[in-house]
Amino acid sequence: MAIRFGTSGWRAVIADEFTFQNVRAVTEAICGYLKTEGANSGTKLIVGHDTRFMGEAFADVAAEIAKGHGFHVLKCDHPVPTPTMSHAIRSLKAAGAMNFTASHNPPQYQGIKFSTADGAPALPEVTKKIEANIAASFTGEDAAGGSIEQLDPRDAYLDDLKSKIRFDVIASAKGTYGYDPLWGTGRGYLNKVLQDAGLNVETIHDWRDVTFGGQAPEPGEEHIGELRQLVIDKGYTLGLATDGDADRFGVIDLGGKFITPNELIALLTDYLCETRPDPRGVARSVATTMMVDRVAKARGIELYETPVGFKFIGELINEDKIVLGGEESAGLSIRGHYPEKDGILACLLAAEAVAARGTSLTEQLNELYSRVGKLESGRIGVKLTPDIAAKLKEKLAQDPERIGGRKVEKTDRIDGVKFLFGNDTWMLMRPSGTEPLVRIYAEAEEKKAVDELLEDGRKYLLG
């Protein structure tokens, strides 16, 4: 069986492909990569896990293997958010980190995210070398001097957040918040840092449940209805949510409106340009709203478009080219933070924007639309059957003049294929890097047009 790293690590179903045998193979391959390609980064390796089934056991196996190869393993002593591990890599000058998490995937999945010495998700050129080691059944030789030490990275990470978020502004507004960690690693992090600032936070699902309530721990609108009702019933300033490993965000505004990731990314780009003026640009993935482009143009900063996968935005953060980078899949980070998406940071920035501007996120969005116009966006998933998989490459290589009656003005192949129809109207098709799906994204100025584009895309793909 070939083990492949997708958009964000390797993920598979527990007891199917995600087995102790395969965990050993992946760990050996990562150790081999670090001992050759990463030799200048030292021998510290951080190992952690989220709240999923068997997370500790898999992490123990990886830690013992790494110890046998001479690594000084810093093993996290509790389920830890992915961005926290990114901070730990950088602050402790580790060679990298292995995090056992399947992020927002359903509970039957497990996974391994491998981050390099800069704290960023491993780039494709790195994961290809790891995959080659797996295919070659790399085991290497044992080395002396290895050890395992327990690590609690929480306080250092939260202290770092306090240097980047204006907690004095949030505290002075005296807002009240609901928080849903979705049984994941954000519990004891986002709620704690707000409470440390003297704010009232009501946390739900604040215990470990390896089934995540029988759903995927994804902070999308369909999964955080209980949080939404809490905000409505109690009049909370905001409802905040994070996914299983707390690198994705979900936000419910005062009154119960779900703020989409696209909306929040555009709004926070505008907010940061206003409150932290900086000549650097802003980045978005090819699947993310062009509202970001409109804000960038209005604020006079450069726009960078990347393939899907936060590792590409992370490169721009490492190069100090952007003030903010975001993905429509609820990933966000800012200049001076880590080259990794951070759902806790995103939620705190939303709280800061509300406190600083003294208006709800909905009111801020309406004001933004009055300046730059509004775009509607949506996406669907088409199951990747053997028939669709067989003709997908051919379909994505085609250059149609029209799709569904609309003239294609430009085709963008930075990731999948994106058809641009003018006036910031577009449709993108690309295989998912985390699930057996073809994703179809669309954006236009009217919701009806978005629905039409998604259906036209589905017909084009299946036709």
Tens of pLDDT, residue by residue over 334-360, are 999 999 999 999 999 999 999 999 999
Assess if residue 290 is contained within a domain: yes
Looking at the fold, whether 234 and 343 belong to one and the same domain comes out as yes
Looking at the fold, whether 313 and 263 belong to one and the same domain comes out as yes
Q: Is the pLDDT confidence value at 461 over 80?
A: yes
- Report the pLDDT averaged over residues 143-152: 93
Looking at the fold, whether 295 and 260 belong to one and the same domain comes out as yes
Contact 323, 299 (CB under 8 A): no
Distance from C-alpha of 287 to C-alpha of 305, rounded to nearest angstrom: 9
User: What is the CATH number for 436?
Assistant: 3.30.310.50
CA angle 112, 431, 310 (to 5 degrees): 50
Nearest partner of 81 among 59, 62, 100, judged by Cα: 100
The secondary element (H helix, E strand) that includes residue 335 is: none
Please report the pLDDT score of residue 434 as a whole number.
67
What is the per-residue pLDDT across 228-252, written as a single tens digit (0 to 9) for each? 999 999 999 999 999 999 999 999 9
Percent of the chain residues topping a pLDDT of 90: 87
Contact 242, 182 (CB under 8 A): yes
Assess if residue 309 is contained within a domain: yes
- Report the pLDDT averaged over residues 451-456: 96
What does R_g of the chain's alpha carbons equal in angstroms?
22
Assess if residue 5 is contained within a domain: no
Assess if residue 178 is contained within a domain: yes
Please report the pLDDT score of residue 392 as a whole number.
80
Percent of the chain residues topping a pLDDT of 70: 99
Q: For all residues of the chain together, what is the average pLDDT?
A: 95
Q: Is the pLDDT confidence value at 138 over 80?
A: no
Looking at the fold, whether 389 and 344 belong to one and the same domain comes out as no
Assess if residue 158 is contained within a domain: no
- Report the pLDDT averaged over residues 19-48: 91
Assess if residue 181 is contained within a domain: yes
Distance from C-alpha of 290 to C-alpha of 130, rounded to nearest angstrom: 35
Sheet containing strand 303-306, edge to edge, reads: 303-306, 281-285, 322-327, 331-334
What backbone phi and psi angles, to 5 degrees, belong to 49? -155, 160
Among residues 372, 389, 422, the one where a domain terminates is: 372
For the beta carbon of residue 161, count every other beta carbon within 10 angstroms. 20
Looking at the fold, whether 217 and 241 belong to one and the same domain comes out as yes
Contact 262, 284 (CB under 8 A): no
Among residues 124, 153, 182, the one where a domain terminates is: 153
Looking at the fold, whether 342 and 281 belong to one and the same domain comes out as yes
**Band of residue 361 on the pLDDT scale cut at 50, 70, 90:** very high
Q: Report CA dihedral (129, 134, 136, 141) to the nearest 10 degrees.
A: 90
Q: Is the pLDDT confidence value at 40 over 80?
A: no
- Report the pLDDT averaged over residues 203-207: 97
**Strand, coil or helix: 401:** coil
Among residues 338, 372, 406, the one where a domain terminates is: 372
**Band of residue 39 on the pLDDT scale cut at 50, 70, 90:** low
Looking at the fold, whether 203 and 266 belong to one and the same domain comes out as yes
- Report the pLDDT averaged over residues 187-191: 98
What is the per-residue pLDDT across 294-320, written as a single tens digit (0 to 9) for each? 999 999 999 999 999 999 999 999 999
Assess if residue 1 is contained within a domain: no
Looking at the fold, whether 451 and 420 belong to one and the same domain comes out as yes
Could you give the number of structural domains in the chain?
3
Please report the pLDDT score of residue 395 as a whole number.
82
**Band of residue 260 on the pLDDT scale cut at 50, 70, 90:** very high
Exposed / middle / buried, residue 195 (Cβ in 10 Å: 0-12, 13-18, 19+): middle
Nearest partner of 299 among 269, 333, 262, 319, judged by Cα: 269
Assess if residue 2 is contained within a domain: no
What residues make up the domain containing 30? 10-153
What backbone phi and psi angles, to 5 degrees, belong to 110? -130, 170
Looking at the fold, whether 200 and 66 belong to one and the same domain comes out as no
**Band of residue 407 on the pLDDT scale cut at 50, 70, 90:** very high
Looking at the fold, whether 37 and 122 belong to one and the same domain comes out as yes
Looking at the fold, whether 208 and 236 belong to one and the same domain comes out as yes
**Strand, coil or helix: 438:** strand
Distance from C-alpha of 66 to C-alpha of 33, rounded to nearest angstrom: 12
Looking at the fold, whether 188 and 147 belong to one and the same domain comes out as no
User: What is the CATH number for 72?
Assistant: 3.40.120.10
**Band of residue 390 on the pLDDT scale cut at 50, 70, 90:** confident
Q: Is the pLDDT confidence value at 152 over 90?
A: yes
Distance from C-alpha of 322 to C-alpha of 334, rounded to nearest angstrom: 7
What is the per-residue pLDDT across 270-291, written as a single tens digit (0 to 9) for each? 999 999 999 999 999 999 999 9
